[in-house]
Amino acid sequence: MSDGRRRVKRPEDLRSHRWFGVDDLRSFGHRSRSFQIGFSREDFAGKPVIGIINTWSDINPCHTHFRQRAEEVKRGVWQAGGFPLELPAISLSEPFQKPSTMLYRNLLAMETEELLRSYPIDGAVLMGGCDKTTPALIMGAISMNIPAIFMPAGPMLRGNWRGNTLGSGSDAWKYWAELRAGNIDRQAWGEIEEGIARGPGHCMTMGTASTMTGIAETLGLSLPGSSSIPAADSGHARMASYTGRRIVEMVWEDLKPTDILSADSFDNAVTFAMAVGGSTNCIIHLVAMAARAGVDLPLKRFDEISREVPVIANLRPSGKYLMEDFYFAGGIRALLSQLAPKLKLHCMTANGKTLGENIAGAKPHNDDVIRSLDNPIAESGGLVVLFGNLAPNGAVIKPSAADPKLLNHTGPAMVFEDYNDMAARIDDPNLPVTPDSVLILRNSGPQGGPGMPEWGMLPIPKKLLQQGVRDMVRMSDARMSGTSYGTCVLHISPESYIGGPLALVRTGDMIELNVAERRLDLKVSDEELAARRAAWTPPPPRYQRGYGAMFSQHITQAERGCDFDFLHAGAPTPEPEIH
């Protein structure tokens, strides 16, 4: 796959040498127990031990193929002279886990770091793809900082209903609105349910999964081209074994995450996210990953890059096509080749070559799917950061997936106290809303959700749907699925649960959204807001015990990436003593 870099490690330099290579009683135990598993001395002696972190689970449809892919990774590791060990980790299945997989992203990050630290691992293959698995695995691997390579799950194939292409999430929201408006029947809805997810792999729109696996590749943490390959394609299996071969070389070369990640590589990742109209979720994850790597990535950097980078991937929910079309159009290498003037091409990547070397010669095979910089689907602003008295620490919106005429809008607030309140009242025929209303959902942030669930695409009230309304201005401290669309202001910080200004809004207050000016303002006087703040009573923490209690005590707000405060980069964690 690659001629990589120069070998700098000898077998006695390997981390695993302390377990397997020395002549003492403890290593007697490590070796004899390896024989008990059925391994022979020649399987492990002097070889890099590769930990394959596998987030397979019966309940994760996006990782259904991971049992098989782990075998293919192992084949590559054996071929390259390594010793593969599969380490299962929590799966974070987006469709099933409640209240939100985001509650558990940091748990998987901690599990990844501690698996790699506590076992005799020299290098890691990180198998992920379903939304939060990608940032979680990478965050843990950065903190451990041994050679690591990310193996993306790959998108699933296109969905189909009566000959119409269906995209994950996006078309579920679309046809749900049509069902509620009375435009399709239950029979059609059932057929859509059976046709939208046709095989293994993650969501095949440019949702959070495709955004994050593309970001991982752009950062340099995956093999070039790997993130675009559909999960069901035989090329995906071959990529898995290449990944296994390459990680062994990376160990000998001592190519670690901190040798790859830099302020420039994070700029490249943000540039990629803007160019594909990526998921708003990526902002939180990128901030968290950068903080693990010791790189400062403030929200304003996203906005600076957003102004410079047009949206050139014509992919849902911002555009028309799906990831399978993107793959056949040349995939991420072709996209990055179009973006080259905006990228820092000197950045190092997992195959030992620079980003510029990896995309040399790539070009799109379909210029409607992957556009050029002078023929974009939007001139700029894939993702935009807003500030104002309603969001002193920031909020985000994805203008490319919104109705352009709502991007400069002033309207009266319709406040829902929490998700249950919203669900109970949104379809009430007497709800006092008009198409100009601004729907507000609070208590859905990092602490309030808890875990910042993807509730930010509030449903359009039924009575407005029946009038033909398909978009409204919606605001919350929640996140939104990367497959969602609409004029949804998200991640409002500080969140309402801890007394952010969102907690002070009342139904009928006027709110102004001005995306061009990056502003989000509550048109209420400072004196009135101060009086409301004085009367506000903080609610108790959501959790009194267990993981949730630790989460409540240590979770940071959205602009700091929602990582635990004690997991940011800092003093090194000691290696375990081998006694």
The binding site for ligand FES (CB under 6 A) comprises 62, 94-95, 130-131, 168, 202-203, 207, 209
Please spell the DSSP secondary structure of 161-212, one letter per residue.
ETTEEE-TTHHHHHHHHHHHTTSS-HHHHHHHHHHS--SSSB-SSSSHHHHH
422 with 140: CB under 8 angstroms? no
CB of 61 to ligand FES, least distance (A): 7
372 with 275: CB under 8 angstroms? no
Choose between 279 and 337: whose C-beta lies nearer to ligand FES: 279
Cis peptide before 494 (omega within 30 of 0): yes
β-pairing, 488-489 vs 49-54, is unpaired
CB of 390 to ligand FES, least distance (A): 30
434 with 469: CB under 8 angstroms? no
What are the beta bridge partners of residue 439? 414, 474
Q: How far is CA 290 from CA 234, 262, 270, 493, in A?
A: 33, 8, 11, 19
Choose between 203 and 438: whose C-beta lies nearer to ligand FES: 203
CB of 155 to ligand FES, least distance (A): 9
CB of 43 to ligand FES, least distance (A): 35
Choose between 84 and 152: whose C-beta lies nearer to ligand FES: 152
Cα distance between residue 273 and residue 306, in whole Å: 9
CB of 110 to ligand FES, least distance (A): 21
Distance of CA 393 to the CA centre of its chain: 21
CB of 149 to ligand FES, least distance (A): 20
3-class secondary structure, 289: helix
Cα distance between residue 68 and residue 545, in whole Å: 38
Please spell the DSSP secondary structure of 218-275, one letter per residue.
HHT-S-TTGGGS-TTSHHHHHHHHHHHHHHHHHHHHT--HHHH--HHHHHHHHHHHHH
Choose between 64 and 437: whose C-beta lies nearer to ligand FES: 64
Among residues 380, 356, 371, 394, the alpha carbon closest in space to that of 492 is found at 394
Choose between 201 and 364: whose C-beta lies nearer to ligand FES: 201
93 with 59: CB under 8 angstroms? yes
CB of 56 to ligand FES, least distance (A): 13
Choose between 94 and 122: whose C-beta lies nearer to ligand FES: 94
Cα distance between residue 322 and residue 158, in whole Å: 7
CB of 195 to ligand FES, least distance (A): 16
CB of 454 to ligand FES, least distance (A): 10
Choose between 197 and 377: whose C-beta lies nearer to ligand FES: 197
Choose between 207 and 382: whose C-beta lies nearer to ligand FES: 207
Choose between 131 and 249: whose C-beta lies nearer to ligand FES: 131
